Each structure stands twice: as structure tokens, then as C-alpha cells.
């Protein structure tokens, strides 16, 4: 193992140095494919070499290496690296500062909705109406602004509308015992229709310039406000899920609702809060998208709820509930958006992009399935370091 580690280390170092040399002295008219590949594989070999040597040296490092490679997010990081490499190799502009900004900016819609959605998924529910709720929120805000309401008031009214929507979803699911899938699908359909009724299938322009600033303002001069909101929400809900009592309840309800109930927790209360939360977040997204496009459109972000579910599941959230975390979701969002952006950058036809998105989900989950299977097998045959199965 030690020898292997040293070989990796040396090869990696040579590759990296050679690659950097290639890239830094570009020859006119040729792509930098060779140099980029050398850097890419060189760095990977370097890391592998260091890890091998370290885990050889001490027990603690072996444990750490194992922890990293065993983490559910590991597969995803590998997928992300492969995506970055492929698109970068095809078109080096993919990793230009400008395009990275683009990726982050386009992550906003799916990423923000995924925050509320993943909480719901962890609690064992889901909300297919999030996209259309956000879309209708955009339409509503544009209608309110057309009637010359101050933008602050309009925003508050629309957020209230979001809370009511969440409460309505929760009433269907918790009160009438509808399956979440059906209940929210119905609400989604209703809202899709309502938006068409309200707008007559036209877009509604927004003239209020101070409202535009919601989307164009930069925080600290660099982050566009919507992107900043997404990051804040991801961090805040990450802490909420992993460090607070309410967060733990979300996992309990999703992991075993009956156990939670018999322990004195009210699962319906938990999911009701999450539904309201999700709809309000969807409305925030809808409002910001309207501000960015300077109009309310009856087709704006519908369907982004499915993308949010895709990102969450990619990020390791179990659609059966009880499992997942915001770190995974964040990486899931990154994988999904950088992949979509990459398809645009390499110039794939936009219809094929949708096909490719579905294939990505299948590929990532397949990879995960085999990893999980290998892990479980190791567990059963006692190769993994797991709690003892029989008493001392």
C-alpha cells in the first residue's frame, strides 16, 4: 500500500506540473485538452497518494479516510468532479469566472425551493404545488404592483398568500388524510389554472423600479440578493435540521411517525409547519423571479418543484423520509445546475438537455444503489466497523 501511495504521489505530481506547464504556455489555435486532463488526473492521483500514505501511517487517518469515502455525499462529490472535468475539457470557458457566476445565479430557483422541499421529504411528505405556488405568487405580485400598491405591502400580501396555501395543503394531507402526492398535485393544477385566469395567459409587466432592485441588488457588492438568500436559507435550515429540537422532530416524523406520535410528538403539527414553510419559500422565489424578469408570467417557474425533488434526492434525501441533510442537498443542487449549465455551454440542443437531466438522476441513484449494497454487505459479513451484534 505504501509503495502504491508513493507511486500515485510521484505520478500525480509529474502530471500536475506538466499540465500546468501546458496550460500556462498556450499554443495558438489548439485546445488545452491535454494540459487540463493532466492537471485533473494529476491532482486526483496526488490526493489518493497522500490519503494512502497517511492511512498507512496512523489509525486515526485511516478512520478519517474511511469516514470520508463512506459518507453518502462522497459519491455525489465524485459525480460533481466528473461533470466539471468533462465540460471543462470540452469547453474551457465552462470554469471561467463569468460562467461560475452564471451557475450560481441559475441555481437560485431550484436551490431555494429545494430547501423547503427537502425538509418536507425528510418528514415523509412532498409538495408538488411549490412551483405553481411560486408562479402564482409572481403573477399576484405583478397584479398588486399594477394597482400601484407599495412593493413592501405587495410582498407581504403574497407571503401571506403563501402561508395560506401551505395551510391548505396541510389541511388536505393531515385533515382529510389525502396522500401528499395527490393533494398537492390538485392544488398545483388549481393554481396553474388560476394563473391563466388572472392573466389571460399574458405576461404582466412590472414598472416599479424599486421592486426590481430586489433581484438586482448585490450583497457585499458580489452576491446577487437572490443567491445570497439561497445560501442563507441553506445554512439556516442546515442548522435547524441538525441542531434543534424541531429539526430532530422532522427526522423522527419521517423515520417513524407512529413512534413519534406515541412518544408524545404531534406529527401533523410538524408537517403542517413544514408545508407552510415550503409554500412561503416558494412565494419568495416567485417574487424574486418576477423582480428579475420585470414581469409576472403564468409559466415562470412551474415545474421547478420537480427539479427541487431531483436535487434533494440526488443529494441523498430519502423520498421515503427520515434521511438526508442540507449539505447533501447543497451538493445535489450544485450537481444539477452545473450539469444543466454545462449542457448549455457545450451547445447541446435544449430539448436534449431535459433528457440528459433525467439520465443524470438515474445515473447518480444507480451509483448510490451499488455503494449502499456494497456497504450493507460489508456490514452483514462483519467487515465494516459497526456496533457488535452479540453481547460480550
Q: Taking CB under 8 A as the criterion, which residues in 196-235 touch another protein? A: none
- Under the binding rule (CB under 8 A), the answer on residue 4 touching another protein is no
**Could you tell me the smallest distance in angstroms from the CB atom of residue 270 to another protein?**
12
Using the rule CB under 8 A, give the single segment among 47-55, 189-197, 199-207, 253-261 that binds another protein: 253-261
Using the rule CB under 8 A, give the single segment among 45-53, 134-142, 238-246, 354-362 that binds another protein: 238-246
Q: Compute the distance between CA of residue 107 and CA of residue 230 in angstroms, rounded to an integer.
A: 9
Using the rule CB under 8 A, give the single segment among 9-17, 82-90, 259-267, 353-361 that binds another protein: 259-267
Q: Compute the distance between CA of residue 145 and CA of residue 141 in angstroms, rounded to an integer.
A: 6
- Under the binding rule (CB under 8 A), the answer on residue 260 touching another protein is yes
Using the rule CB under 8 A, give the single segment among 4-12, 173-181, 223-231, 237-245 that binds another protein: 237-245
**Could you tell me the smallest distance in angstroms from the CB atom of residue 127 to another protein?**
21
Q: Taking CB under 8 A as the criterion, which residues in 262-291 touch another protein? A: 262-266
- Under the binding rule (CB under 8 A), the answer on residue 258 touching another protein is yes
Using the rule CB under 8 A, give the single segment among 10-18, 191-199, 333-341, 378-386 that binds another protein: 378-386
Residue 128 corresponds to which cell in the numbers above? 408538488
Distances (CA, A) of 258 to 175, 252, 261, 267, 276: 17, 9, 5, 8, 22
N-terminal to C-terminal alpha carbon distance within the chain: 34
Q: Name the one residue in this structure whose C-alpha cell is 425538509.
A: 119
Residue 49 corresponds to which cell in the numbers above? 497518494
Q: Taking CB under 8 A as the criterion, which residues in 149-168 touch another protein? A: none
Q: Taking CB under 8 A as the criterion, which residues in 303-342 touch another protein? A: 318, 322-323
**Could you tell me the smallest distance in angstroms from the CB atom of residue 249 to another protein?**
9
254/332 with CB nearer another protein = 254
Q: Which residues contact 388 (CB under 8 A, 6 or more apart)?
A: none
Q: Taking CB under 8 A as the criterion, which residues in 66-85 touch another protein? A: none
Using the rule CB under 8 A, give the single segment among 77-85, 194-202, 341-349, 382-390 that binds another protein: 382-390
Rg, the chain, Cα only? 24
Residue 292 corresponds to which cell in the numbers above? 428579475
User: Binding residue for another protein (CB under 8 A) from 252, 290, 329, 333?
Assistant: 252
For 95: left if phi > 0, alpha if psi spans -120 to 50, otherwise beta; the answer is: alpha
HSE-CB for 361 with a 13 A CA cutoff: 15
User: Binding residue for another protein (CB under 8 A) from 78, 255, 327, 361?
Assistant: 255
Q: Name the one residue in this structure whose C-alpha cell is 456490514.
A: 379
DSSP secondary structure string for all residues of 85-139:
HHHHHH-GGGGSHHHHHHHHHHHHHHHHHHHHHHHHHHTT---TTHHHHHHHHHH
262/362 with CB nearer another protein = 262
**Could you tell me the smallest distance in angstroms from the CB atom of residue 278 to another protein?**
19
**Could you tell me the smallest distance in angstroms from the CB atom of residue 326 to another protein?**
16
HSE-CB for 211 with a 13 A CA cutoff: 28
* Interface contacts to another protein, rule CB under 8 A: 243-246, 248, 251-252, 254-256, 258-266, 318, 322-323, 377, 379-381, 386-392
Amino acid at each position: 500500500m505504501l509503495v502504491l501511495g508513493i507511486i500515485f504521489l510521484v505520478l500525480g505530481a509529474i502530471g500536475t506540473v506538466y499540465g500546468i506547464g501546458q496550460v500556462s504556455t498556450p499554443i495558438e489555435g489548439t485546445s488545452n485538452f491535454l494540459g487540463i486532463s493532466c492537471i485533473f488526473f494529476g491532482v486526483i492521483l496526488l490526493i489518493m497518494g497522500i490519503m494512502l500514505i497517511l492511512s498507512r501511517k496512523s489509525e486515526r487517518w485511516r478512520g478519517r479516510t474511511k469516514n470520508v469515502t463512506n459518507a453518502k455525499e462522497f459519491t455525489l462529490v465524485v459525480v460533481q468532479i466528473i461533470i466539471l472535468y468533462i465540460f471543462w475539457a470540452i469547453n474551457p470557458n465552462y470554469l471561467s469566472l463569468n460562467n461560475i457566476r452564471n451557475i450560481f445565479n441559475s441555481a437560485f430557483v431550484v436551490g431555494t425551493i429545494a430547501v423547503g422541499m427537502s425538509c418536507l421529504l425528510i418528514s415523509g411528505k412532498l409538495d408538488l404545488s411549490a412551483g405553481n405556488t411560486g408562479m402564482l405568487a409572481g403573477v399576484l405580485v405583478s397584479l398588486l404592483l399594477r394597482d400601484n400598491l407599495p412593493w413592501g405591502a405587495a410582498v407581504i400580501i403574497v407571503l401571506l398568500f403563501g402561508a395560506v396555501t401551505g395551510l391548505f395543503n396541510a389541511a388536505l394531507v393531515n385533515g382529510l388524510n389525502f396522500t401528499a402526492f395527490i393533494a398537492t398535485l390538485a392544488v398545483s393544477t388549481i393554481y396553474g389554472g388560476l394563473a391563466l385566469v388572472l392573466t389571460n395567459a399574458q405576461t404582466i409587466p412590472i414598472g416599479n423600479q424599486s421592486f426590481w432592485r430586489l433581484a438586482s441588488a448585490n450583497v457585499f457588492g458580489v452576491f446577487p440578493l437572490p443567491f445570497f438568500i439561497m445560501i442563507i436559507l441553506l445554512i439556516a435550515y442546515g442548522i435547524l435540521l441538525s441542531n434543534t429540537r424541531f429539526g430532530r422532530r422532522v427526522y423522527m416524523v419521517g423515520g417513524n411517525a407512529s413512534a413519534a406520535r406515541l412518544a408524545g410528538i404531534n406529527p401533523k403539527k410538524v408537517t403542517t409547519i413544514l408545508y407552510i414553510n415550503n409554500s412561503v419559500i416558494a412565494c419568495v422565489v416567485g417574487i424574486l423571479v418576477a423582480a428579475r424578469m420585470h414581469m409576472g408570467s403564468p409559466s415562470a417557474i412551474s415545474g421547478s418543484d420537480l427539479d427541487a425533488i431531483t436535487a434533494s434526492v440526488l443529494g441523498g434525501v430519502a423520498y421515503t423520509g427520515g434521511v438526508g441533510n442540507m449539505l447533501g442537498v447543497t451538493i445535489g443542487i450544485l450537481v444539477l445546475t452545473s450539469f444543466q449549465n454545462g449542457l448549455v455551454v457545450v451547445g447541446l440542443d435544449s430539448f436534449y438537455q431535459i433528457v440528459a437531466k433525467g439520465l443524470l438522476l438515474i445515473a447518480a441513484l444507480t451509483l448510490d444503489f451499488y455503494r449502499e449494497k456494497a456497504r450493507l454487505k460489508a456490514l452483514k459479513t462483519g467487515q465494516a466497523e459497526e456496533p457488535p451484534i452479540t453481547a460480550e
